[in-house]
Amino acid sequence: MELKITCIPGDGIGPEIVAEAKKTLDAVAEKYGHDMHYTDILMGGASIDVHGVPLTDEAIETARSADAVLMGSIGGDTTTSPWYKLAPNLRPEAGLLAIRKALNLFANLRPAVLYEELAQACPLKTDISARGFDMLIMRELTGGLYFGERKTVEENGVRKAIDTLTYDENEIRRIAIKGFEIARKRRKKVTSVDKANVLDSSRLWRAVVEEVAKDYPDVVLEHMLVDNCAMQLVKDPAQFDVILTENMFGDILSDEASMVTGSIGMLSSASLNDTKFGLYEPSHGSAPDIAGQDKANPIATILSASMMLRYSFDLDKEADAIDNAVKQVLKDGYRTGDIMSVGCEQVGCKKMGDLIVERIK
């Protein structure tokens, strides 16, 4: 199979971790007989330095012509970098917002996995962390409160702010379909999270999700109110498979879920449109303080590459090879500095990539 991938190394540790992810993809391609074709583009601070803007139209078109996009990290030190003296629409992160909009990336996927070997990093009680968990939060990314009409007015001498939460059934249906399709690749359970006891938008959300569920009789659907879900994430995270929810709830719950893993350097993510196309990136930032020092943890980006194989190319066997290689490296006791623990061997970014490649082969 021929895979056309646009790579965005980005800023900070981005080039280092993307290089290791490409290394693992090349190992998979060699083992399973695929052809990888990479094209690099600039985005974020790297693009500002060359082009004066965080993302060019030409870069967008290059990304659009690919089958998928693999990204490192965007941004720098907000207190010292000259990038943050620019207008907000010219700062590094504006490039990320622009590419999401240009490519219609409405579905955000944030896995939260607690590996047995990293259970000691979990802040939850031992009897909870011992069970482990492997969930995926599917967040609607382009609608809801963040994109509704907003204004601040003054009435009778009192300032009043108005934010509008709006969803139509088509926006809900397309994210629900993505959720159920991905649940089929996992453990076939969807927990749809809303606030249907209060909000009209949530009542419509629940109704449309139930309509979509009829086309997926092999997937179990349950509904959960968002406040209960927040509690259940720290009480019994092992119960969740795919959590499907709207933009603001997903923003909050995905951060909570990542925190209970205890190791953000391990967390991948993806943003998908209504085709198989997706942008895949680690959940962590650019870590400019360790850039260029071979200290970065490449695992989140490597796992993002695994998600790309699974969700954009339907190469589940190849994705499993990467996932299993990561697990084996951790089981063998290798750690980067951010996840280091007593009794393990600390390695750098490049060495971690090499170890994962060895286990793929």
DSSP-assigned beta bridge partners for residue 223: 192
Is there a contact between 106 and 274 (Cβ–Cβ < 8 Å)? yes
Residues in the chain with pLDDT values less than 50: none
Tell me if the domain spanning 1-113+266-361 has CATH number 3.40.1280.10: no
Report the topology of domain 123-261.
Isopropylmalate Dehydrogenase (3.40.718)
List the catalytic residue out of 49, 163, 227, 320.
227
* Chain segment 270-279, per-residue pLDDT in tens: 999 999 999 9
What are the start-end ranges of the H helices in 39-168? 45-51, 57-64, 92-102, 126-129
Look at residue 97 in the predicted model and tell me its pLDDT.
87
Look at residue 264 in the predicted model and tell me its pLDDT.
80
Distance, in Å, from the CA atom of 322 to the CA atom of 308, rounded to the nearest integer, reads 11
Q: Under DSSP, is residue 262 helix (H, G, I), strand (E, B) or coil? A: coil
* Chain segment 234-263, per-residue pLDDT in tens: 999 999 999 999 999 999 999 999 889 987
Nearest CA to 36 among 358, 305, 282? 305
Look at residue 121 in the predicted model and tell me its pLDDT.
84
- Domain limits of the chain? 1-113+266-361, 123-261
Environment class of 19 (CB within 10 Å of its CB; exposed 0-12, middle 13-18, buried 19+) = middle
Q: Under DSSP, is residue 351 helix (H, G, I), strand (E, B) or coil? A: helix
Look at residue 116 in the predicted model and tell me its pLDDT.
85
- Specify whether 146 is catalytic: yes
Distance, in Å, from the CA atom of 87 to the CA atom of 179, rounded to the nearest integer, reads 37
Is the fold of 1-113+266-361 the same as that of 123-261?
A: yes
Look at residue 119 in the predicted model and tell me its pLDDT.
86
- Specify whether 311 is catalytic: no
Nearest CA to 12 among 38, 42, 45? 45
Has this prediction a pTM greater than 0.85? yes
- Specify whether 26 is catalytic: no
Q: What is the DSSP letter of 80?
A: T
List the catalytic residue out of 26, 40, 134, 255.
255
- Specify whether 255 is catalytic: yes
- Specify whether 195 is catalytic: yes
Which structure tokens are listed for 45? 């601070």
Pairing of β 345-346 and β 334-335: parallel
Look at residue 193 in the predicted model and tell me its pLDDT.
98
Distance, in Å, from the CA atom of 91 to the CA atom of 131, rounded to the nearest integer, reads 42
